[in-house]
Amino acid sequence: MKRFVFWVFALLLASSLARAAIVEHTFNVEDISIQRLCRQQVITAVNGTLPGPTINAREGDTVVVHVFNKSPYNLTIHWHGILQFLTPWSDGPEFVTQCPIHSGSSYTYKFNLTGQEGTLWWHAHSSFLRATVYGALFIRPRQGHSYPFPKVYQEVPILLGEWWNANVVEVEHNATESQDAPIPSDAYTINGLPSDLYNCSKDGTYKVKVKQGKTYLLRVINAALNTQHFFQVANHTLTVVAIDAAYTNHYDTDVLVLAPGQTVDVLLRTNQRVGSYYMAFSPYHSAPQITINANITRGLIIYDGDRSAKPVMPDLPAQTDTEKAHRFYTNMTGLAGGPHWVPVPRHVDEHMFITFGIGFTECTNFSGGCTGSTRPLSANMNNESFVLPRGRGVSMLEAFYGNNVDGVYTRDFPNRPPVEFDYTNENINEMPFGFRIAPKSTKVKTLKFNSTVEIVLQNTAIITTENHPMHIHGFNFHVLAQGFGNYNATRDEPKFNFLNPQIRNTISVPVGGWSVIRFQANNPGVWLVHCHLETHLPWGLAMAFEVENGPTPSLSVPAPPADLPKC
């Protein structure tokens, strides 16, 4: 019987491998000149396009991407949402899983797509370069398998981006020097185009031609750096079928909300009269005290045979409509029993309570004065402000692999904040002064292989409350519950959804609120956890998990590739 089972498994494996493919790309990263908003602007881009090339693959395929860095900047590429099971060297965040690819050098990323389907994306994981170095990554079902929703007529990528009339590296450099927030972007874009709402952009509107009576799959990606967005199509209901490459129960809505890093797959049924309809992105401004680009951008859905003189514009929500955003974020549920569904692990080995938010930093080498609110801005998780280990000679993953972490990072990230207080009370005078200023550190939390981790992510109001998109590399997680105010286990644990919770890789923790997530640490390596607002990672709103190797060599971090960049 055992021999029979072995041969059945071998045949299934051989059949699976026969259907899988190697999807190979070459990325040439270089500076190009592009016309936007009345001016020529030099940007760093991949293969001369904005967005960069789309990677199309199927579940089970192996992706190989040869990156040639012909730009003047050192950089890395992150494959956002790819689990990178036992391929941590390809995850991408600089100084965490690799040193940057130096200008004039190259590196080959290689990873498998087993157990994932849906819409993901890739982007530079080096400062503000992800403003122009990004693109889509679509994982379709294996040959012979189908989507768990009706057949669609066509798939349409919709990538929201952000545009600066400036060198984005200088934008970040100036913010770092001043230790203040960077200047807001000048425009938002859809698939690289800013729309007719901006100067010199009459012909810069993304257009989709559709047939009446068909169903389209919109693959919507928020690739913006710093702003969450509402998304609507005038007069059309959207049916959500997946988020972050995880299938959901079908959810009908007139508005989507996406934080930077998040993706949403929706069905658009062209069941309206023949005409033209705007699809529009409008910022969700959860912290009105913080200056953002409050402009909208839009594209066009044009029915075949349209002769209308004026397209229909959607009735967009107020940009501060937290109630509508929260309703969208919490109403969706996972497709339990669907393709690649993972049940919620019920036994928890590690309980963590992590506070996070924007605060102040210690005053060193700062010429702007240093009293009260004039202190330079910083950020922290559990009162530790994370610093990437630049200049240490190796990445964190190299230090882990070589068992030589001294001087690179320490293993003492706390399970809880050092003090308890009224976390979401915006009266700063009632907050412990020491909690407003976090020490700089490079700390990780060590997790046993295959342990189950539950985390309460708790927003704080050190400067202001804000909706923060938190991204965990190397793992998907179940979202058990979300709410406003301070998390209270007695009140909130009974609300946990163990039946069909959302599965995500990036969670929008409600403004002035909390989220509870749970995942299994079955992927050895060093994995970054951070806010996906680009301003917040350099400020220190991050930490990392060090997941120990498994019991066998086949469940351990493999040797680094020969072409791994050197620091």
Both tokens of 72, joined, read 């003047």
Whether residue 13 is contained in a domain is answered as no
| Pairing label, strands 297-303, 207-210 | parallel
Residues 549 and 402 in one domain: yes
Range of the domain at 88: 22-140
User: What pLDDT is recorded for position 467?
Assistant: 85
Both tokens of 497, joined, read 């959804």
User: What pLDDT is recorded for position 155?
Assistant: 98
Residues 324 and 366 in one domain: no
Residues 99 and 163 in one domain: no
Whether residue 544 is contained in a domain is answered as yes
User: Reading across the β-sheet that carries 263-269, which strands appear in turn?
Assistant: 187-190, 154-163, 215-222, 263-269, 238-243, 246-253
Q: Looking at this protein, which amino acid is placed at residue 3?
A: R
| Helix ranges restricted to H, 299-358 | 322-331
Contacts of 487 (CB under 8 A, 6+ apart): 353, 456, 458, 514, 516
User: What pLDDT is recorded for position 3?
Assistant: 39
Nearest Cα to Cα of residue 557 among 410, 402, 431, 418: 402
Give the end of a domain, one of 140, 163, 191. Answer: 140
Residues 310 and 404 in one domain: no
CATH number at residue 229: 2.60.40.420
Residues 222 and 132 in one domain: no
Cis peptide before 51 (omega within 30 of 0): yes
Contacts of 496 (CB under 8 A, 6+ apart): 480, 481, 516
Distance of alpha carbon 21 from its chain centroid, rounded?
A: 26
Local mean pLDDT, 10-residue blocks, the chain (567 residues)? 37 50 98 96 98 98 98 98 98 98 98 97 94 98 96 98 95 81 93 95 95 98 95 98 98 98 98 98 87 92 94 96 96 97 98 90 56 67 94 96 97 95 77 75 97 97 84 98 97 98 97 96 97 76 96 97 95
Nearest Cα to Cα of residue 125 among 107, 144, 148: 107
Residues 196 and 104 in one domain: no
Report which DSSP code applies to 48. T
Strand partners, 521: 451
Residues 278 and 326 in one domain: yes
Whether residue 357 is contained in a domain is answered as yes
User: What pLDDT is recorded for position 425?
Assistant: 85
Residues 183 and 247 in one domain: yes
Whether residue 342 is contained in a domain is answered as no
Look at the chain and count its residues.
567
Residues 383 and 490 in one domain: yes
Residues 534 and 404 in one domain: yes
pTM of the model: 0.94
Question: 158, 218 in Cβ contact below 8 A?
Answer: yes
User: What pLDDT is recorded for position 219?
Assistant: 98
Give the end of a domain, one of 331, 362, 380. Answer: 331
Q: What is the CA radius of gyration of the chain?
A: 23
Question: 255, 324 in Cβ contact below 8 A?
Answer: yes
